[in-house]
Amino acid sequence: MVGIDRDDLIAIVDYRMNETIIKQLNQYCSEIIMTRPHPYLMEPVNGHPDMVMMQYDDRTLIVCPEEYEYYQGKIAGKGINIIRGTSRLNRNYPWDIPYNAIRIGKTIIHHIAYTDKMIVEKATDDKLLRVDVKQGYTKCSVIHMKNHGIITADRQLYEIVNSLGIDSLLVRTGHVELNGFDYGFVGGASGYHNGRLFLTGTLVHHPDCCLIQEFLESKSMQVVYLSNNPLYDYGTIIILNREEK
């Protein structure tokens, strides 16, 4: 993480995140902001950051209107741009996916029909290529390492991202824990910042462990395992740059 100090980083995490993981993450991010339960999302995911906000870049969040004031209060004065979204969330698909999008360089990947209007407007203003996918839980499904590529268990996402010339690794579905569901999404068990990938557990429990490790090594990725447990879907660890001093 060249040129980035711990004091410059803020992490947003699920309010239920394991204390051991938080303690480990705090070695790399000086401030940890906990989400709060969203009143209308399903309980297993009601604190997932990637359900209530999109990380547009290292200093920009687009947040659902019902959570906007909460995060504005938490991040005010720290150089983070928080944009108020227009789409309110509820527990039923597809009304829980408006903020579930990823940006890779000059490309934004999302389910276009249901994406929040403010995300679409900002992407249009910035002349980003908008790529439509059927997987509404786009960010949940992807370990997103910016220009280094992605890891996903979703075949359509894998094929589309590969076709864009972005390196991708397809892994087997499942093998990520999430209470209340048979399994979680691999992207929700990760966070990324500036060449450093954070995972909520170890890869030894995943059947594609060796493939994933080889892919990460090919990217010279520094991997931080935040616990010795199996991967757990906490809805992504969102890491932001505090305002430069």
The tens digit of pLDDT for each residue in 158-196 reads 999 999 999 999 999 999 999 999 999 999 999 999 999
Q: What pLDDT is stored for residue 3 in this prediction?
A: 47
Domain 6-240, CATH: 3.75.10
Mean pLDDT of 120-139: 98
Mean pLDDT of 20-31: 96
The string of DSSP codes covering the chain is -TT--GGGEEEEE-TT--HHHHHHHTTT-SEEEE----TTS-GGGTT-HHHHEEEEETTEEEE-HHHHHHHHHHHTTTT-EEEEPSPPP-SSTTTT-TT--EEETTEEEE-GGGS-HHHHHHHHHTTPEEEE-S-S-TTTTEEE-GGG-EEES-HHHHHHHHHTT--EEE--S--SB-TTSS---SGGGEEEETTEEEESSBSTTSTTHHHHHHHHHHTT-EEEE--SSBPB--S-BEEEEPPP-
pLDDT in tens, 43-68: 999 999 999 999 999 999 999 999 99
Residue 244 binned pLDDT confidence (cut-offs 50, 70, 90): low
Q: What pLDDT is stored for residue 112 in this prediction?
A: 96
pLDDT in tens, 73-106: 999 999 999 999 999 999 999 999 999 999 999 9
Delimit the domains of the chain by residue range: 6-240
Q: Indicate the pTM of the whole model.
A: 0.96
